[in-house]
Structure 1
Amino acid sequence: MRSEKSLMRKTHFLGTKIRNLRKRNNLTMEDLSARCIRVDSGNAPSVSYLSMIERGKRVPSAGMLAVIAAVFQKEVEWFLDDIPEEQAITPEKGRRGGVSGMPLEPSFLFSNDILQIAIPEMLSQTGTSGRQFAHLLIRAHQEHHQNHFPDLERAAEDIGKKRMPLSVDDMLDIAKGMGLKIKWIDKTPQTIQDSTGQDSQQLTTSFFEPPNSIYINKLLKQRPHRLKYDLAVHIGHCVLHNKDGLKSVMMSGSREETDDTMQSNTLNAQDILHAWRDFESSFFAGALLCPKVPFRQLLDQYGYEINVHQQLQVSASVAMRRMTVVSPYRHWHYFDAYAPGKLKAVYRGNGIPLPWGNMRLVQDPCQHWAVFWVINEPLVGSSAQISILNVGNEPRIYCCESIKVDDSAGNPHVLCAGIDLNPAIEAQGKNAQSIASDLKQACVSNGGSAVIPSAIKHDLTTVANILNINWIERGIENDARVICSRGAVCPRQPSCYAAGKALCEESS
C-alpha cells in the first residue's frame, strides 16, 4: 500500500484532474459523492470534502483516492503527478470566451501570496507598466464574458430610453439634465514621439472638472460622432460612479504612455480601479449611443455593413465594437491599429491570436493580416478577407472587414471587425476542421493564397447567408490567405519570413 506521505508528494494536479473528469462526465459534486458511497461508503468523500480536494485544500487518503479512481474506471496512478496529461490539467472554463487559459497548477505555487510577489517582478523584468497590466486584466475579463454585461446595458437604457439615433442636442440635454455644465475650450493637436521614434498627433478632446463641469474641445463641433462619444463617456462615469473618479482627460491618438505614473512597473489597486472604470464608462457610452435591440435590428436590416455608423452619426469604432456585443453570434474579434504596429484596442471573443502586441512591437509580424496591409496600402473597395490560421494545432477559418479612418487628431488608423467561421460551419452539420484543413492546403500549395474551391465556397456562402453578414460574401469572392500569429511560424512554402530575413542579411 502506498504510504500517505508518499501520496501527498505526488498530488499537485490531483484536484484539477478530479474536477475535470467530473465535469467531462457531467457530474455534480453530489453525484460523485453518491457514486463513491455506492462503491465504498467507509472511504467515500462528503460533498464538502470533495470540494476541498478539488480546490487543493485537502489530500484524499489512499483508500479514498482508490474509491474515486474506481468510479471513473482509472488507475490510481493516473491521478498522480507521474502522468500530468495536458488534457487532464487544462481547465474547461479556460476557453469559455474562446481565449485560451492556462492551468494554475500546482495550486500551492499559484496562491495569492506567491502571485502578489511574482507579478510585480514579472512586470519589472518585462518592462510592462502597472497600468498596461491592469488593462490586460480588464480585457481578459471582457473576453471571458464575450462582451456580455447586462447591468451596464440596463444602466445605459435607463438614461437613453433605447432611443436611436441620439443627436448632439439630445446628448447635451441628457448631460444638462444630470446637472453637468458644458464649457468649451480651444486645444490644438500636439506632436508626440513614441518609444519607437515615430511622430504622431495627440489631441485633448475633453476633460471633467469637479464638481460638475465638462470641458469640450471646440474642434469636436466639426466631429459630432466624437463629441457624442465623449459626452456619453462622461455621462457614464456620472451614472455608474456618481461623479466619483470621473475620467479627467480624454485624448485622441495612439495614446503612447508618456506620464511617469503610466510607466511605473508597480501594480496597485488604483490602477485596477481606474482601468475598470474606464472600461465600464466606455462600454456604457456604446450602449447609450447604440442600444442593443434597435442596433441589432439595424444591423440585421443592412447585413452588418460597417457604414451603418453614418446613419447614427457615431464613429465606425463605436459601431464595430457594438457589433461584437449585440450580434447573436458570439465569436467576434476587433482591432484598432496604428502604424507601425500599435494596437490601441483589442477584443478577442473568438480566441484569435494577436498579430502583434499592444504592450510592445514584435519583430516578425505576419504581413498577410488584413489589418496590416490595409494600414500600409491604399484601400480601394472592400477589404473583406477570408483567412486560415492555426490556433493551437487546429486550422480555423476567419473572415474580417477592415477600414482606414483618421482619428480626431488627424492620425490614420485601421479598424478591423471579424469572426471565427468554424462554429458556424459546425452548426450546419459540416466538419469545420476538415474544411479548414482543405482550404489551408489549397493556399499553402499555391504560395499562401488561393481561389476558394467551389465546394468550400458553397459551404461558406450558406454560413454567410445564415449569419446575414454581407462582407463574408465579399470575402469569399477574394482569394483566401494563410496567416500566422508570428512570421517565425509561417506555414507558407517557402516561408515569407525566412525570405524577408534573407533579404535583410544580404543588404547588411
Structure 2
Amino acid sequence: MRQEQSLLRKSHFLGTKIRNLRKRNHLTMEDLSARCIRLDPELAPSVSYLSMIERGKRTPSYAMLQVIADVFQKSPEWFLDDAPEEEAIVPEKGNRGGISGMPLEPGFLFSGDILQIAIPEMLSQTGISGRQFAQLLIRAYQEHHQNHFPDLERAADDIGNKQLPLSLEDMLDLAARQGLKVHWFQTPKNESGTHRLVTSFLDAPGKLMLNDALRSSPTRMKYDLAVHIGHCVLHRSDGLLHEMNIGPGAYELDPAQQSSSVNAQDILQAWRSFEASFFAGALLCPKVPFRQLLDRYGYEVDAHRLAGVTPSVAMRRMTVVSPYPHWHYFDAYTPGKLKAVYRGNGIPLPWGNMREVADPCQHWSVFRMITEPRQGSAAQISLLDVNGPPRLYCCESVKVTDLAGNNRVLCAGIDLNPAMEAQGMDAPAMTQELKQLCVSRGGEADIPAAMRRQLLMLARILNIHWLERGLQQQARLICSRGAVCPREPKCYGACQAT
C-alpha cells in the first residue's frame, strides 16, 4: 500500500514519459498493450486504460508499471518524477529514398519536356532497358514512401476481410469471384543450371493458366493467385499483366525482345506488376493480424509457415508491417541477379542489375549465403561506412530453392543506428569503436561485453529474435565496393596501395 501511495505522489510525468518512449520506439498504443499482454495478461493495460495513463487520467499500479517497464527494458523508477528524462522525442522519418538525392538545378534543365527527350537517349547510350529504368523508378518511389501504400492495403482488406491465414481453397474461391477460371499447363522438366519458369499467365479475359508445377507448392500457387486477383481488382484484367515468372531476371524481357528505345508500355506494365504484387502480399498477410503474428514470434522467418505463405512474401511484408521503419530486403540469385530490393534505410547496394561491378564485397550476408554450402538461416551483425560514420546493421538470411531448381537467398535486415539513438546511446562512438576493433583483427571481432549488453536490450525492445542471435556472432566489416575495403589486409590485392 505504501508503495502505491509513493507511486501516486511521484507520477506527475509518468504518462508523458510512457507516451514519449512509446513514440520513440514507433509503437502504437495497440502495439504496446499487446506487448504487455504477452508478458502478463492479467496486469497488462488495455488500449483505453493506456490512453488514460498517458493523458494523466489514471495512475497504474506498481505491478502494471513493472510490465510496461519490462517492454522498454527500464526500471519502474525511471518513469517517476525524480528520474530525469532524455530530451523530448520527435520520431524522424529516416532517410527518404535508397540513396541521397541531388538538387535539380538549374530547374529549367529538369523540366518534364527536357527529361522526356534526354532520358530515352541516356538509356540508349548506357544500354539500360526501359524495363530496368522502370524498376529503378518504382524502387525509388517505394522507398520514398517507406513502403506505405494504404490504398492498396485497403483494397486487399476488402477482398480478403483481413483473414490470416487464407487457405488454397479460399484463394481459389476469391479468384472465381473475380471471374477467373483456372486451367493447367505443363512445361518440360529443366536440366541442371539456372532457369526461368513461367508459373502462370492470363490467356484471355477470365482464363487463368497455372503451371502444373505449382501443385507441389501451395504457398507459391496462392501467391500467383493473389497477384492475378490483384490485377483484376486494381486494373480490371486489361491484359497488361499477362505472365508471371520465377528465376533470375524474371522481371526483365528476353534480350531478343529488348529495344534500344524506351517503351512507355513497359513502364506502365512494371508499375502495374508492382501494384498487383504489393496487393498480393497485403491480401495473404493483412497488416494488423500479420504484425500481431510476427510480434508473437519475434519476427522469426519461420512465422511464414503459420501464415501459410512463402518465406519471400513473409520477409517482404516484415518491412511493411513492422513499427520500426528502418528495414532493407534483398531477394538474390547470384551476384548481379537481384529479383527484388527494398532499402527503406538507404543501405547501399552491394551490386546492381544495371551493371556488373568488378569488386563486390564478399562479406555481405547475402553473398556468403549464396556461395557457402549451407542451409537454413543465419543472422549477421555488419558494419558499413555510409557517407561518414559507420552504421551497424543486423540481418537474417535464408537460402531457399525455387520451383525451377534455382538456389535463392532472401535477406531481411534493419539499420540499428536509429534504434540506438532512440535509446540515448552514442551510436557514432559505439560503431566507430566496433569498427576499429574489427579492423585491428582482420575484419571480424567479438562484440565487447558491455556493448553486447546494450544491444541485447535493444533487441528485446525491438522484439526481433534474430538480432539476439546475431549478437552471439562476431561483427563483420562490409563495404559497398571492395576498392574501399576497410579491412587490414584489404580483401582485394589492387587495394593494397590505397
TM-score range, shorter chain: 0.7 to 0.9
Match of 1:322 among 300, 317, 323: 317
Q: Does 1:281 align with 2:269?
A: no
Q: Deviations over 1:84-120 (max 9, x none)?
A: xxxxxxxx99942464211111212222233222222
Q: Quick one: which amino acid aligns to residue 209 of structure 1? A: D
Q: Does 1:259 align with 2:254?
A: yes
Q: CA–CA distance in 2 between the matches of 1:179 and 1:156?
A: 17
- The residue that corresponds to 1:112 in the other structure is 112
Q: Quick one: which amino acid aligns to residue 449 of structure 1? A: E
Contact 1:483 1:490 in 2 (8 A): yes
Q: Quick one: which amino acid aligns to residue 253 of structure 1? A: G
- The residue that corresponds to 2:26 in the other structure is none
Contact 2:156 2:280 in 1 (8 A): yes
Q: Does 1:473 align with 2:468?
A: yes
Task: Please identify, of 248-257 and 446-455, the stretch whose mean Cα deviation from structure 2 is larger.
Answer: 248-257
Contact 1:234 1:246 in 2 (8 A): no
Q: Does 1:245 align with 2:244?
A: no
- Runs of 4+ that moved beyond 4 A: 189-192, 499-502
CA 1:262 to 1:415, structure 2 compared with 1: closer, same or farther past 3 Å? Answer: farther
Contact 1:309 1:315 in 2 (8 A): yes
Contact 1:384 1:402 in 2 (8 A): yes
Contact 1:130 1:267 in 2 (8 A): yes
**Unaligned stretches of 5+ in structure 1?**
1-91, 193-198, 503-508
Match of 1:450 among 445, 466, 476: 445
- The residue that corresponds to 1:223 in the other structure is 217
SS of the aligned residue for 1:444 comes to helix
Contact 1:187 1:217 in 2 (8 A): yes
Q: Does 1:170 align with 2:170?
A: yes
Q: Does 1:132 align with 2:126?
A: no
Q: CA–CA distance in 2 between the matches of 1:233 and 1:147?
A: 18
- The residue that corresponds to 1:206 in the other structure is 200
- 1:200 is displaced (CA, Å) by 1.2
- 1:258 is displaced (CA, Å) by 5.1
Q: Looking at both structures, which has the greater relative contact order when contacts are Cα pairs under 8 Å and sequence separation is at least 6?
A: 2
Q: Does 1:295 align with 2:290?
A: yes
- 1:278 is displaced (CA, Å) by 0.3
Q: Quick one: which amino acid aligns to residue 226 of structure 2? A: A
Q: Deviations over 1:419-442 (max 9, x none)?
A: 000000010011111111111111
Q: Deviations over 1:206-260 (max 9, x none)?
A: 1112221101011111100110000000000000011123411111111364535
Q: CA–CA distance in 1 between the matches of 2:336 and 2:98?
A: 24
- The residue that corresponds to 1:20 in the other structure is none
CA 1:382 to 1:220, structure 2 compared with 1: closer, same or farther past 3 Å? Answer: closer
- 1:314 is displaced (CA, Å) by 0.9
Q: CA–CA distance in 2 between the matches of 1:320 and 1:240?
A: 24
Equivalent residue pairs, number: 405
Q: Deviations over 1:277-308 (max 9, x none)?
A: 00000000000000000000000000000011
Q: CA–CA distance in 2 between the matches of 1:229 and 1:366?
A: 33
- 1:358 is displaced (CA, Å) by 2.1
Q: Quick one: which amino acid aligns to residue 176 of structure 1? A: A
SS of the aligned residue for 2:195 comes to strand
CA 1:93 to 1:173, structure 2 compared with 1: closer, same or farther past 3 Å? Answer: closer
**Unaligned stretches of 5+ in structure 2?**
1-91
Q: CA–CA distance in 2 between the matches of 1:266 and 1:394?
A: 41
Q: Does 1:463 align with 2:484?
A: no
Q: Which of these two proteins has the greater Rg computed from alpha carbons?
A: 1
Q: Deviations over 1:336-392 (max 9, x none)?
A: 111243111110001000001022321100000000011111225641000000111
- The residue that corresponds to 2:330 in the other structure is 335
- 1:187 is displaced (CA, Å) by 1.7
- The residue that corresponds to 2:13 in the other structure is none
- 1:395 is displaced (CA, Å) by 0.8
Mapping for residues 341-360 of structure 1, pairs under 5 Å: 341-360=336-355
Q: CA–CA distance in 1 between the matches of 2:145 and 2:138?
A: 11
CA 1:261 to 1:135, structure 2 compared with 1: closer, same or farther past 3 Å? Answer: farther
CA 1:469 to 1:93, structure 2 compared with 1: closer, same or farther past 3 Å? Answer: closer
SS of the aligned residue for 2:345 comes to coil
Match of 1:482 among 452, 455, 477: 477
SS of the aligned residue for 1:384 comes to strand
CA RMSD, aligned part only? 2.0
TM-score by length of 1: 0.77
Q: Deviations over 1:441-496 (max 9, x none)?
A: 11111111100011211121111001000000000000000100000011112211
Mapping for residues 7-406 of structure 1, pairs under 5 Å: 95-97=95-97, 99-190=99-190, 199-255=193-249, 257=252, 259-260=254-255, 263-379=258-374, 382-406=377-401
- 1:267 is displaced (CA, Å) by 2.1
- The residue that corresponds to 1:32 in the other structure is none
Q: CA–CA distance in 1 between the matches of 2:273 and 2:189?
A: 23
